[in-house]
Structure 1
Amino acid sequence: MPYLTSAMLGAALCCFAFLGFKARGRKGSLDDYVTARNSQTSTTLGLSFVASGMGAWILFAPPEIGAFAGPLALAGYALGSSLPFIVLGLYGPAIRRALPEGRSIAEFADACYGRGVRHWVTLVSVVYMACFLAAELTAIGAITSLLSDVPPNWVIIGVTLATLLYTVSGGLRASLATDRWQAWLLVALLMIVSSVTLWHLPAMPSGAVLPSIPTSSALSVSLTLVIAVTAANLFHQGYWQRVWAARDNQSLGRGAWMGGIATVVIVMVIGGLGMVAAMSGIALGEPPMPFFALLNNVPSWVAMVALVLAVTLVASSVDTLQSGIASLIVSRSEKPGVSITLTRWMTVLLMVPVVIVALQGLSILRLFLIADLLCAAIVVPVLLGLWQRMTPLAAIGGGLAGLMGAILPGWIGQESLSAGIMAASFPNSVPTLGPFLGALLASTTVSVVLAYVTSNKAVGQ
């Protein structure tokens, strides 16, 4: 059985690598390598948003939220997962007009505010995407251990090498090409696994009720997840690349809405399985993993299909992250030989510490939450860059205020600065609303106030 499973996983990764190699750009320019500028239709973009946004996290987080927090909190998670696509669909045309030759969120920040803000945005974006990469690779190792006898380290390294082969070779075009196939494959596999698990589900107890928590708590969880997921994913450079890859503004808008709606449906379906698992009364495991608990009652071949689904999910998100990081670290030089070679090697080198962390099998949820909070603290000042009144001082001041706002709820609540800092570092690895809401409100308020003050001074002078 381990040999058959290894063969199936290897075949899937080889297929992805083949598709990526086949679609790599022929122009040989740096710009085409990192943006595939003005080349993608709405359908391709929609499928790409689905594939790149989905990862192994959908097999863990939505089912657990559905099982323990209920449908309202799950709806918030689904909305938060889809909002970044919709925001870029609505905001993207203005970005394309303001920066027609742009490549990244960092260049957008540079054009709006200068190099100082660009460096800060680049750092936050790279930290967030590195955390995302480590989380995805750690997850596929954990899933492999749960569902098979294949050594998890083999799969972690296999996914890393396979995706690097085609993203380093073909850039964004290779990632977009594999996304199309991966999106359809993950939908098909998810339907198979969901249908079979529901068919073999034990009879529902007569007193089964939907999981739920008090409405106020559910709303708090929902709002926290919307803020955290939306703010963090707006620093996902892989999504920003697709703003300039779109053939035109209409393609971008339609593709973003398609990706957003599909994401909501997928997250609600997989989260619904978690609710069903909780209602059925089956043991959810320790720590609880409702989706995998459902697989205990199904034929053994379903576990193999679920593992291929997990590898597809991880590969589709990892290749997007690798391509996104490449576009962030690329220099402004237009000498293709030098710039593309440097970008490729930097991408490979950055994956080394990511893989080392993933091989440890550690939980990096706390680090992920901190990265999300950093994003929430500066997302509004960055997106306000197209507002004519905004100034570099307002952006910097808003970002610093966002960091202070993240600390403030815990500081006031426990009357201690150290307690506020500790609360903003999520010691229990549980997302709480206070730091995220404080960061968002403080950064927005200070950015707007400073924008009016500094722009009025500039006019007066």
Structure 2
Amino acid sequence: MMMTHLAAIVAALCLFGWLGLRARKTANGIDDYMTARNSQGAGTIGLSFLASGMGAWILFAPPEVGAFVGPVALAGYAVGAALPFIVFAALGPLIRKRLPEGRSISEFADARFGPGVRRWVSLVSVLYMLCFLAAELTAIGSITGLLSDLNGQVVVIAVALTTLLYTTWGGLRASLATDRWQALLLMALLAAVLFVDWKHLPTTADSAEMPGIPFWSAVSVAVTLVLAVTAANLFHQGYWQRVWAARDNGALWRGAILGGGTTIVVVAVVGALGMSAAMAGLNLGQPPIPFFALLSEAPQWLGAVALVLAVTLVASSVDTLQNGIASLAVAEKDGLTLPVARWITVALMIPVVLVALQGASVLRLFLIADLLCATAIIPVLMGLWPRVTTVAALGGALAGLLGAILPNWVMTGSLAEALLIASFPGGAPTLAPFAGALLASGAVTLLITVASRPRLG
């Protein structure tokens, strides 16, 4: 089977490389390279949203949530994964109107609040996307080891190099071109895995209970996931590129509905597999990996299909992140040439690949990056209200940092303990830091704005 697995991975990567390189013929100048401005219809935007957001994380997190926390939290996860697309569709037209030649949320922050807020937004965005990249590449290395005898580190490097090849050459258009096919391929592969897995799933005992935790605890987890995922994804530069790439506001809205709707279905169905595995009494592993526990009951050839599915998921998110980081770098520095933008993309991938090759868990760092996003997103988006000043936005962002630790500081009476909880030592999301960050940042921004004199003119 080793040669079968190798051939399947090589074929998938060659297909993505060919599709991406073919798209380079349409790139024209650095702005087109970064934004493909006003060129994409609703179908492409929707499939791109789906493919860009569906990383290897869906094979780990939703099944685990379904298996251990239950349907309420899983529903929150599915909504949280899709909600950012609707937010982009609602706010994107307003930001496009204000910055028709814009490229990033940091440029909007600069236009409203100046370079100080812009640098902070850019820092948070880059940190979040680098964490996302490291997580995805780490995941494909781990999945390769689980499903085959191939060296996972070799596959990490192969995926990184292949996506770099076409994203550095073709820019956003290359990413969009591969996204269309990756979205269709991942849905077909996932359907095949689901069909075979459920067919071979052991019979669920009559006495088996739906997995779950107490209702309000499940609600707390669901709300946490909605807040964390939404706040973080609003700092995802790859998604903001697609806001400006949409042909018009209608295409953006329809694309967001398509991408969000299919995302909800995919997350819910994959999570349901985790619930099925738990109810069937399968050994879920330690740490638990319900999706892969199901594969142990399926035909051996399905491992090759699942491996191609994982490569597709990782490539579709990695190429978006690579291009998003390069776009943010170009937006930060006026006058950069296209070759320099390409080399920036390559340079930023070196530390990411080195981290991924260690095989370490990045979940805790991912949650910290999510929390940083939550401290700043409300003040930035409130910039759509003309009365909000730079002082209000900066005050709100600082209040968000305090709000992330204040609830647990009050509950525990210890600042050190509150800081530890806000760093997610167990790698599990908790509601208080995210709710505190969002509420404090929004409230302080609003209070300072109301207390300030209206802007003249």
For Structure 1 versus Structure 2, the TM-score category normalised by the shorter chain is: over 0.9
Distance 1:25 1:418 in 2: 55
Q: Write out per-residue CA displacement over residues 243-300 of structure 1, whole angstroms, 9 at most, x where no aligned residue.
A: 1000000000100111001100000000000000010011111111100000001111
Tell me the secondary structure at the aligned position of residue 300 of structure 1.
coil
Question: Is residue 394 of structure 1 aligned with residue 381 of structure 2?
Answer: no
TM-aligned CA deviation for residue 453 of structure 1 = 1.7
Tell me the alpha carbon deviations over residues 425-452 of structure 1, each in whole angstroms, 9 at most, x when there is no partner. 1111111001000001000000111111
Is 1:239 the equivalent of 2:239?
Answer: yes
**Matches of 1:25 and 1:215 in 2, distance apart?**
54
Show the counterpart of 1:410.
Answer: 408
Q: Distance in 1 between matches of 2:445 and 2:26?
A: 44
Matched residues in 1 for 2:352 and 2:83: separation? Answer: 27
Residue aligned with 2:326, SS: helix
The answer to whether the 8 A contact 1:25-1:33 is kept is no
Aligned length: 457
- Distance in 1 (CA, whole Å) between partners of 2:116 and 2:379 is 14
Q: Which of 353, 371, 374 is the matching residue for 2:372?
A: 374
With over 3 angstroms needed to count, the CA separation of the structure-2 counterparts of 1:404 and 1:334, relative to structure 1, is: closer
Correspondence for 2:437 = 439
Task: Return the offset for 1:4.
Answer: 2.1
Letter of the 1:351 partner, please give it: M
1:399–1:203 CA distance, 2 compared to 1 (3 A): same
CA distance in 2, matches of 1:324, 1:345: 14
> Is the CA contact (8 Å cut-off) linking 1:113 and 1:392 kept in structure 2?
yes
CA distance in 2, matches of 1:282, 1:27: 50
Checking the alignment, whether the CA contact within 8 Å between 1:157 and 1:355 is kept in structure 2 is yes
Distance in 1 between residues matched to 2:409 and 2:99, nearest whole Å: 40
1:126-141 aligned at under 5 Å gives the runs 126-141=126-141
Give the residue type in structure 1 aligned to 2:97: R
Q: In the alignment, residue 317 of structure 1 is paired with which amino acid?
A: S
Counterpart in the other structure of 1:448 = 446
Query: 1:221: Cα distance to partner?
Result: 0.2
| Shift in Å, 1:333 | 7.1
C-alpha contact 2:85 2:257 (8 A) present in aligned 1: yes
Distance 1:25 1:98, change over 3 A: farther
* Aligned twin of 1:99: 99
Q: What stretches of structure 2 of length at least 5 have no aligned partner?
A: none
Distance 1:21 1:112 in 2: 37
Within the candidate set 352, 355, 375, 2:353 is matched to 355
Taking the aligned partners of 1:76 and 1:4, their CA distance within structure 2 comes to 38
- Whether the 8 Å CA contact 2:107–2:331 is kept in 1: the answer is no
Q: Deviations over 1:61-98 (max 9, x none)?
A: 00000001111000000010001101001111111111
Q: What SS does the corresponding residue of 1:251 show, helix, strand or coil?
A: helix
Q: 1:166-177 counterparts in 2 under 5 A?
A: 166-177=166-177
1:213 lines up with 2:205 in the alignment = no
1:364 and 1:21 map into 2 onto residues whose CA distance is 31
Q: What residue number does 2:283 align with?
A: 283
Letter in 1 for 2:182: Q
**1:55/1:316 contact within 8 Å kept:** yes
Partner amino acid for 1:246? Answer: A
Q: Is the 8 A contact 1:125 1:236 kept in 2?
A: yes
1:25 deviates by 4.9
Q: Give the Å deviation of 1:209.
A: 1.8
CA distance in 2, matches of 1:231, 1:87: 10
Q: CA deviation at 1:342?
A: 1.1
Quote the offset at 1:409 in angstroms: 1.2
What is the CA–CA distance in structure 1 between the aligned matches of 2:333 and 2:339, rounded to whole Å? 12
Q: Is the 8 A contact 2:26 2:173 kept in 1?
A: no
For residues 438 and 85 of structure 2, the distance between their equivalents in structure 1, rounded to whole angstroms, comes to 19
Q: Indicate if the aligned counterparts of 1:132 and 1:368 stay in contact, CA closer than 8 A.
A: yes
For residues 332 and 300 of structure 1, the distance between their equivalents in structure 2, rounded to whole angstroms, comes to 49
Q: Distance in 1 between matches of 2:4 and 2:73?
A: 39
TM-fit CA distance, 1:172: 0.2
Pairwise CA RMSD: 1.2
**Is the 1:25–1:171 contact (alpha carbons within 8 Å) kept by the matching residues of 2?**
no
Contact 2:38 2:245 in 1 (8 A): yes
Contact 2:27 2:170 in 1 (8 A): no
The within-5 A match list for 1:216-365 is: 216-331=216-331, 339-365=337-363
Q: Which residue does the alignment assign to 2:113? A: 113
Amino acid at match of 1:423: I
Q: 1:331·1:339 contact (CA, 8 Å) conserved in 2?
A: no
Give 1:37's aligned residue.
37
CA deviation after TM superposition for structure 1 residue 334, in Å: 7.3
> C-alpha displacement at 1:26, in angstroms?
3.4
Task: Determine helix, strand or coil for the equivalent of 2:146.
Answer: helix
Q: Give, in whole Å, the separation in 1 of the partners of 2:355 and 2:268.
A: 30
Question: CA contact under 8 A between 2:27 and 2:171: conserved in structure 1?
Answer: no
Aligned twin of 1:87: 87
Measure, in 2, the Cα distance between the counterparts of 1:154 and 1:10: 12
In 2, the alpha carbon distance for the partners of 1:431 and 1:34 equals 34
Q: Do the aligned partners of 1:333 and 1:339 also contact (CA within 8 Å) in 2?
A: no
| TM-score after normalising by structure 1 | 0.97
Amino acid at match of 1:254: R
**Conservation of the 8 A alpha-carbon contact between 1:127 and 1:371:** yes
User: CA shift at 1:454, angstroms?
Assistant: 2.4
Q: How does 1:29-68 map to 2 (within 5 A)?
A: 29-68=29-68
- Cα contact 2:103–2:241 (8 A) shared by 1: yes
Give the secondary-structure state (helix, strand or coil) at the position aligned to 1:330. Answer: helix
**1:332 Cα shift?**
6.8
Q: Identify the range of structure 1 (72-81 vs 17-26) with the bigger mean alpha-carbon deviation.
A: 17-26
Residue pair 1:128, 1:232 contacting (<8 A) in 2 also: yes
CA distance, structure 2, for counterparts of residue 451 and residue 369 of structure 1? 30
The alpha-carbon deviation at position 455 of structure 1 amounts to 3.6
Matched AA of 1:34: M
**What is the rounded CA distance, in whole Å, between the counterparts of 2:449 and 2:165 in structure 1?**
46
Percent of aligned positions that are identical = 63
> Is the alpha carbon distance of 1:418 and 1:334 closer, same or farther for their aligned partners in structure 2, counting shifts above 3 Å?
closer
* C-alpha contact (below 8 Å) 1:80/1:227 kept by paired residues: yes
Q: CA deviation at 1:127?
A: 0.2
Q: Using the TM superposition, give the Cα deviation of residue 27 of structure 1 relative to its aligned residue in structure 2, in angstroms.
A: 4.6
Aligned-partner Cα distance in 1 for 2:62–2:332: 40
CA contact (8 A) 1:394 1:447 kept: yes
